Chain A
Amino acid sequence: MYTLNEQQIDFILHDIKTRGVDIESLQLNLLDHICCIVESELQEDGNFDQFYQQLIPKFFRKDLKEIEDETILLLTFKNYYAMKKAMIITGITSVTLFIIGSLFKIMLWPGAGPLLVFGIGSLSLVFLPLMFVLKAKDSSSKNERLLSGVGALIGFLICLAALFSVMHWPHALTLWIVAICIATFVFIPIYFYNGMRNPDTRLNTLVTTILILGATGLLFIMVNIRPAKKQLEIKMYTHIQSEDLLRKMQQHAKQYDPLASDIDTTAERIKSLIIEGMIGKPFIPKDFEAQKLLGEEENLGPAFFKEGAEGAILFSHLKETVAKYNSTLTLNEGNKIPIDHFQEDKIGFYNNYVVLNYVVQLQMYLATDENKMTASK
């Protein structure tokens, strides 16, 4: 019986590694196996090098790495079916949830949000990545794999963009634009190049490319739908008129008490912050058309949405002071300033023009109350 020394064991292990076996447990299995054969079959005074060189080719057809390839294949083959099953289940579940969620959303029934988030979330985060992995496994060329990868990424971004739009979360527009750009500048050129190289698929590729370009263009237009310029101008005029009316109402009140004055100042600061975000100035000038200033209608930005941001702090202060003001009112209930329906945790969902209108109305209530107080004194 031959006894292997440490150098020989190191040599065998090194050789196994050099021949491309990377899985450590497989390296150790093969090392022990080879050592067992050498020790049991080689004579005590036998030539190790010669024996080893004759033995090792018996382990494979082409190279030793095929044992590792076979192991990986066997392990992933099992996963292949599990993944396929998971893909089908998540696909059906997410589409069902998405359809039911959309119905709930249209009918304004409660629970639409969670249904849509879960449906679109599982579609983009589970179904699409699984589809890509399985598709990549079946693809023979690198280009096909790249194409399915980019396709899955675009699908993922479109799903998220749709979800962000429906849920009125910020950055939905950025997601739409990124998805459309990747589709136009990466996916379509690769798809076109791949298909046009093969004479059999040339016509089909051309037609499909036109269809994809058309669909991407339509998506781009839909994403960028904005209210007409005239509509925005009307909204701006309405705000200017409301402000004028407010000033007139405020003239009658002799002097605001400190609490009312605090509310009014906070309201003014909120308006300035919103208008600054819209047109870059703290108020809407009367000649805004001549100055070519147009405030886009959109949800309040991160200045209001984020916790601790200036807008959010001002709103919270406004609510507090109005509540305090309401409690000090000696007049009847009808004079109280309505504030409860305006929820701070939903500030991000409020539209800028709606909030401006709301704040001006709040100031009007205040002016009316203060007028009555002045009159009663």
Chain B
Amino acid sequence: MHNILMYICVMYSSELIKGTLKTIILKLLSETKRMYGYEITQRVKELTGDKIQITEGALYPTLHGLEEHGAVTTEVVNIGKRVRKYYTLTSKGKKEASEKVDEFAEFIGTMQFLLNIKTQVK
């Protein structure tokens, strides 16, 4: 029904990473005390060496969804004339982050087996 295909993905097709955005955001927030929107996009860019870039069109709806769901809380900080919203994981969000990561790891394992992908040993 909904259509989060608004990643700008340099390397991977959007179908491939569809549905992983929530996992990415939750995981990043679980590693940092608090983050704001732009910071999240930059961190993903930096960690993946520009292979995955999250757009605003995908990021903010997801963050609002997580807030509504009670997975994150927000803190507003005034920066001159504008305000910055920092997102922090709640205990529910922390639990969800670890569940999502585990689920994804299991999925990768299944896909490796299904597609008979041999792990590259460098």
Which residues of A are interface residues toward B (Cβ below 8 A)? Answer: 6, 9-10, 13, 23, 25-26, 28-33, 35-37, 58-61, 66-67, 70-71, 73-75, 77-78, 80
Closest to A67 in B: B57
Q: How far is the CB of B21 from chain A (nearest CB, A)?
A: 11
Q: Is the C-beta of B92 less than 8 angstroms from some C-beta in chain A?
A: no
Interface size class for chain B? Answer: 20 to 34
| A74 neighbours in B (Cβ, 8 Å) | 2, 4, 61-62, 64-65
Please tell me if B56 contacts chain A, counting CB pairs below 8 Å: yes
CB distance B64 to A26 under 8 Å? Answer: yes
> Please, how many angstroms separate the alpha-carbon atoms of A66 and B65 in the complex?
15
Is A71's CB under 8 angstroms from B81's CB?
Answer: no
Which residues between 41 and 83 of chain B lie within 8 Å of chain A, taking CB atoms? 41, 55-58, 60-65, 68-69, 74, 76, 79-83
B1 within 8 A of A: yes
Residues in chain B within 8 A of chain A (CB atoms): 1-4, 6, 36-38, 41, 55-58, 60-65, 68-69, 74, 76, 79-85
- Knowing A6-B81, A28-B82, A70-B2, the reply to whether A33 touches B57 (Cβ < 8 A) is no
Q: Which residues of B contact A80 (CB under 8 A)?
A: 1
Task: Kindly provide the distance from the CB of B29 to the nearest chain A CB, expressed in whole angstroms.
Answer: 15
- The CA-CA distance from A31 to B83 in the complex, in Å, is 8
User: 11 A-B pairs, CB-CB below 8 angstroms?
Assistant: A9-B81, A10-B81, A13-B82, A26-B60, A31-B82, A33-B56, A35-B82, A37-B38, A70-B58, A75-B64, A80-B1
Q: A84 to nearest B CB, angstroms? A: 12
Give the complex CA separation of A37 and B42 in angstroms: 10
Q: How far is the CB of A145 from chain B (nearest CB, A)?
A: 18
Contacts A59-B57, A66-B57 supplied; 10 other A-B pairs, CB < 8 Å: A6-B80, A9-B80, A23-B64, A33-B60, A59-B55, A70-B57, A70-B61, A73-B1, A74-B62, A75-B65
